[in-house]
C-alpha cells in the first residue's frame, strides 16, 4: 500500500491516532477531533461475502480518516429521515469517532451507536448521527456500519458446509461484535475507556442491542445498554426472529430463484458471483419473507429469541435504558390493515378482550401496531431486567414531543423522531426544540457516563421497578415527568394476547 504520509503531510488542525492496523489522521473541528471512515474489518467482498468479518490488513504510513466510508449496500427507503449520505458498496465495514480535541486526564466513557433501518437500510453516515453534542459532554462517540439485508443475513447449506457445520447467517450481527472488539482493542488511542462502553441503538439498532445483551460473543464488550424503539417481541409467543433452520430454507428458496441448487462449493461460488444488485432487499415492511429472513436464532451468536432470553435472565447484567415513542406507527398507512389481520388471527375472544381494553374495536385497530411492536416490548424487557435478583438499574421512557414545525400536523411522536433530540441535533432554531434536545442529550449522556440518566437541571427519572413501574414521559409540550403508565391495562391485554408472527 502507498505510504500515505507523503500524500497527506501533517497540517495544522489535524489529529492523529495509532491503532492496531496503523496510524490515522483525522481532523480538528473546533473543540473536537473527528476520525471518519476507519476500517474495523476487511472488505467483505469476493470470497469474503457471507464470511465472518476478517482482520484489517495493516497499512504503512498515515491513513487519512477525513471522510465517511461507503454506506453498506441497500435499497433506499424513500421515507427514511435517517438515510445515509454516501455511495453504496459491499466494502463498507467502517466506523467513525468523535472525541474532545483536548484529551481528558482520565479515559472517557464510550458510546457505540448502532443505526436503525429494519436491518435492510440505513447507515452511520446519516447527518443526524453526528456525535458532536455527546463528545462536547466529554464522551468518545463511535458510529458503525454493518452489513444489511441479504448481505448481512443469509443462511444456506453451502455456507454451513463451508463453515464446517457451524450455523452461520447473522453476518451483520457478527460485524457489530467485530466493531465492539475493535473498540476494546483501540479506543484508548482516542482517549476512550474500554471498560466503560455503552451500546446504543434505535429501531433495528435497538433490536440489535437487545440481541447483543444475550449474545455470548458480545459478553464483556459493553457495560451499559440503551434500546430505543427496539420492538422484538410479539404477545405470549414472545417471538421476533425466525429459526436458523427456517432461515436456511428461505436462503435456498432465494438461491433456487437464481438457478442455484445444492450445497457444494460450486453452488457457493455461483452465489458469490451474483451481482450485488441481485441480492438487494426491499425495505423492512415490504421485504419478501419467502426469500429474505432477517436476523435468525442460530444457537450461538443469538442463542434464543430475545424475548425468551430476557424472560430467563439470560442477558448481560448491565444498566439498561429502554423506551419508545408515543405514536410509533399509528399514522402509517399500513398500520390499520396489519392490525386488523393480527386481530383476526388472534381469534374472537382475544380480539374482544383487546377491544375492551382500548375502549372500542376502532381504537384497538388504530393503536395496536405501535403498542404491540414497540410499547409493550419496552415495558416487557424493563420488567424482565427489574426482576433479576442482582438487578442493575433500569430506566423506562416514552417520548411524546412533537417538533414545533409539525405540532399542528402530528398527534404524537412517530418512529425515529426522538433520534435528533437524543443526538442534540434538532436542525431547528425553535427555542423549545433546542431545549428538548439539550434535555434528551443530557439524560442520555449521563447514562453513558454513569449508568444513571439523572443530573443537574433535569426532571427526576426514577429507576423502573415492579412495585411502581414509573417511567419518564417526555411530553408533547417538551416537559418531562415521571408517572405510572396510563396504558397499563392495554399492555396487560397485549401481553396476554396469542399473537403468533410465524
* Residue 302, all three cell numbers: 443469538
Is residue 97 within 8 A of residue 19, CB to CB? The reply is no
Three cell numbers written together for 245: 433452520
Look at residues 283, 318, 353 and tell me which one is the last residue of a structural domain: 318
Q: Which of 266, 295, 318 is the last residue of a domain?
A: 318
Same domain, 368 and 264: no
Q: What is the CATH number of the domain that holds 457?
A: 3.40.50.1820
For 157, counting Cβ atoms within 10 Å of its Cβ (0-12 exposed, 13-18 middle, 19+ buried), the class is middle
Backbone dihedral angles phi then psi of residue 196, each to the nearest 5 degrees: -135, 70
Same domain, 292 and 342: no
Q: Are residues 314 and 378 in the same domain?
A: no
Residue entry with cell 457489530: 176
Give pLDDT, residue 390: 64
Residues designated as active site: 203, 328, 415
> Collapsing DSSP states into helix, strand and coil, what is residue 427?
coil
pLDDT of residue 500: 66
Q: Within 13 Å of residue 454, how many CA atoms lie on the same side as its CB?
A: 11
Do 233 and 380 fall into the same domain?
no
Largest CA distance in the chain: 74
pLDDT in tens, the chain (502 residues): 333 333 344 455 899 999 999 999 999 999 999 999 999 999 999 999 999 999 999 999 999 999 999 999 999 888 788 999 999 999 999 999 999 999 888 999 999 999 999 999 999 999 999 999 999 999 999 999 999 999 999 999 999 999 999 999 999 999 999 999 999 999 999 999 999 999 999 999 999 999 999 999 999 999 999 999 997 665 555 568 999 999 999 999 999 999 999 999 999 999 999 999 999 999 887 888 999 999 999 999 999 999 999 999 999 999 999 999 999 987 777 788 888 888 888 889 989 999 999 999 999 999 999 999 999 999 999 999 999 866 799 999 999 999 988 888 888 999 999 999 999 999 899 999 999 999 999 999 999 999 999 999 999 999 999 999 999 999 999 999 999 999 999 999 988 888 765 5
Please tell me whether residues 246 and 273 are part of one structural domain: yes
Q: Do 224 and 269 have their domain in common?
A: yes
Q: Are residues 235 and 362 in the same domain?
A: no
Is 462 within 8 Å of 438 (Cβ atoms)? no
Size (the chain), residues: 502
Q: How many domains does the chain divide into? A: 2
How far apart CA 422 and CA 307 sit, in angstroms, is: 26
Cell of 244: 436458523
DSSP category for residue 448 = H
pTM attached to this predicted model: 0.95
Residues 196, 333, single domain; the answer is: no
* 312 and 373 belong to one structural domain: no
103 Cα distance to chain centroid: 28
The answer to whether the CB of 68 falls within 8 A of the CB of 125 is yes
Same domain for 121 and 49, yes or no, is yes
pLDDT score for 502: 52
Task: Point out the domain boundary residue: 260, 288, 318.
Answer: 318
Q: What are phi and psi of 430, to 5 degrees?
A: -70, 135
Domain shared by 40 and 178, yes or no: yes
Domain that includes residue 70, residue range: 1-318
- 19 close to 12: Cβ distance less than 8 angstroms: no
Q: Distance between CA 395 and CA 430 in Å, rounded?
A: 28
- How would you class 333 by CB atoms within 10 Å of its CB: exposed for 0-12, middle for 13-18, buried for 19 or more? exposed
Residue 351's H or E segment, with its range, is helix 348-358
**How far is Cα 255 from Cα 358, in angstroms, rounded to an integer?**
45
Same domain, 336 and 313: no
CA Rg value for the chain: 22
What are the grid coordinates assigned to 461, written together?
A: 427519572
Per-residue confidence (pLDDT) for residue 389, from 0 to 100: 64
**In whole angstroms, what is the distance from residue 8 CA to residue 201 CA?**
34
Amino acid at each position: 500500500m502507498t505510504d500515505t504520509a507523503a500524500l497527506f503531510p501533517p497540517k495544522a488542525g489535524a489529529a492523529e491516532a495509532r491503532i492496531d492496523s496503523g496510524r490515522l489522521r483525522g481532523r480538528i473541528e473546533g473543540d473536537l477531533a473527528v476520525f471518519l471512515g476507519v476500517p474495523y474489518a476487511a472488505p467483505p467482498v469476493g470470497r469474503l461475502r457471507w464470511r465472518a468479518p476478517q482482520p484489517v490488513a495493516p497499512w504503512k504510513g498515515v491513513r487519512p480518516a477525513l471522510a465517511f466510508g461507503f454506506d453498506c449496500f441497500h435499497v433506499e427507503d424513500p421515507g427514511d429521515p435517517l438515510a445515509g449520505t454516501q455511495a453504496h458498496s459491499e466494502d463498507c465495514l467502517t466506523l467513525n469517532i468523535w472525541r474532545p480535541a483536548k484529551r481528558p486526564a482520565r479515559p472517557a466513557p464510550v458510546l457505540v451507536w448502532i443505526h436503525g433501518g429494519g436491518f435492510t437500510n440505513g447507515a452511520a453516515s446519516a447527518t443526524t448521527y453526528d456525535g458532536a453534542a455527546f463528545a462536547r459532554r466529554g464522551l468518545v462517540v463511535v458510529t458503525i456500519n454493518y452489513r444489511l439485508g441479504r448481505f448481512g443475513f443469509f443462511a444456506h447449506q453451502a455456507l454451513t458446509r463451508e463453515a464446517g457445520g457451524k450455523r452461520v447467517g447473522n453476518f451483520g450481527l457478527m460485524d457489530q461484535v467485530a466493531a465492539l472488539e475493535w473498540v476494546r482493542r483501540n479506543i484508548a488511542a482516542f482517549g476512550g475507556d474500554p471498560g466503560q462502553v455503552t451500546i446504543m441503538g434505535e429501531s433495528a439498532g435497538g433490536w440489535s442491542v437487545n440481541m447483543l445483551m444475550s449474545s455470548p460473543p458480545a459478553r464483556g464488550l459493553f457495560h451499559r445498554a440503551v434500546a430505543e424503539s427496539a420492538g422484538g417481541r410479539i404477545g405470549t409467543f414472545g417471538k421476533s426472529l425466525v429459526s436458523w433452520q427456517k432461515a436456511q430454507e428461505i436462503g435456498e428458496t432465494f438461491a433456487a430463484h437464481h438457478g442455484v441448487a445444492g450445497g457444494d462449493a460450486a453452488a457457493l461460488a455461483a452465489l458469490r458471483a451474483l451481482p450485488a444488485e441481485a441480492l438487494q432487499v426491499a425495505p423492512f415492511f415490504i421485504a419478501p419473507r419467502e426469500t429474505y429472513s432477517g436476523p435468525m436464532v442460530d444457537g450461538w451468536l443469538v442463542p434464543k429469541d430475545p424475548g425468551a432470553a430476557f424472560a430467563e435472565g439470560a442477558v448481560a447484567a448491565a444498566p439498561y435504558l429502554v423506551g419508545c415513542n408515543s405514536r410509533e406507527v399509528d399514522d402509517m398507512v399500513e398500520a390499520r390493515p396489519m392490525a386488523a389481520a393480527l386481530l383476526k388471527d388472534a381469534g374472537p375472544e382475544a380480539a374482544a378482550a383487546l377491544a375492551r381494553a382500548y375502549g372500542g374495536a376502532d381504537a384497538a385497530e388504530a393503536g395496536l401496531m405501535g403498542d404491540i411492536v414497540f410499547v409493550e416490548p419496552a415495558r416487557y424487557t424493563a420488567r424482565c431486567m427489574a426482576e433479576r435478583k442482582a438487578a442493575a438499574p433500569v430506566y423506562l421512557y416514552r417520548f411524546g414531543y412533537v417538533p414545533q414545525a409539525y405540532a399542528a400536523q402530528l398527534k404524537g411522536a412517530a418512529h425515529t423522531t426522538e433520534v435528533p433530540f437524543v443526538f442534540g441535533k434538532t436542525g431547528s432554531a425553535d427555542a423549545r426544540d433546542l431545549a428538548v434536545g439539550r434535555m434528551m442529550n443530557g439524560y442520555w449522556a449521563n447514562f453513558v457516563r454513569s449508568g444513571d440518566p439523572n443530573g443537574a437541571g433535569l426532571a427526576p427519572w426514577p429507576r423502573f421497578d415492579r412495585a411502581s413501574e414509573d417511567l419518564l414521559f417526555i411530553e408533547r409540550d417538551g416537559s418531562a415527568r415521571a408517572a405510572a403508565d396510563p396504558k397499563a391495562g392495554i399492555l396487560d391485554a397485549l401481553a396476554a394476547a396469542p399473537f403468533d408472527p410465524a
